């Protein structure tokens, strides 16, 4: 993959993740198909988002969590 194509795939992946709201689901396969990002890269990023408590993994699905989860609202 050329540097330009790789940068465009990353930009599409970032936009896809940014557009997700709490409760939205994705899979590694869906991310790869929609953005052109590599499987290993999609797995790495989604796993990191799970560790950051921004997503939960349920089988092969990744669930977007709210950034306000557990926060008190006054």
> What are 8-65's pLDDT values in tens digits?
999 999 999 999 999 999 999 999 999 999 999 999 999 999 999 999 999 999 999 9
**Considering only CA atoms, which of 71, 16, 69 is closest in space to residue 41?**
16
How many other CB atoms are there within 10 angstroms of residue 52's CB atom? 9
The label of the residue with tokens 């990023």 reads: 45
* Fold exhibited by the domain 3-64: Arc Repressor Mutant, subunit A (1.10.10)
pTM recorded for the entire structure: 0.86
Q: Hey, where are the domains in the chain?
A: 3-64
């Amino acid at each position: 993959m050329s540097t330009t194509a790789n940068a465009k795939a990353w930009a599409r992946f970032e936009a896809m993740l940014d557009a997700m709201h709490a409760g939205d689901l994705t899979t590694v396969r869906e991310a790869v198909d929609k953005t052109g990002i590599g499987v290993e890269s999609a797995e790495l990023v989604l796993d990191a988002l799970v560790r950051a408590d921004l997503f939960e993994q349920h089988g092969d699905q990744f669930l977007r969590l709210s950034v306000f989860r557990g926060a008190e609202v006054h």
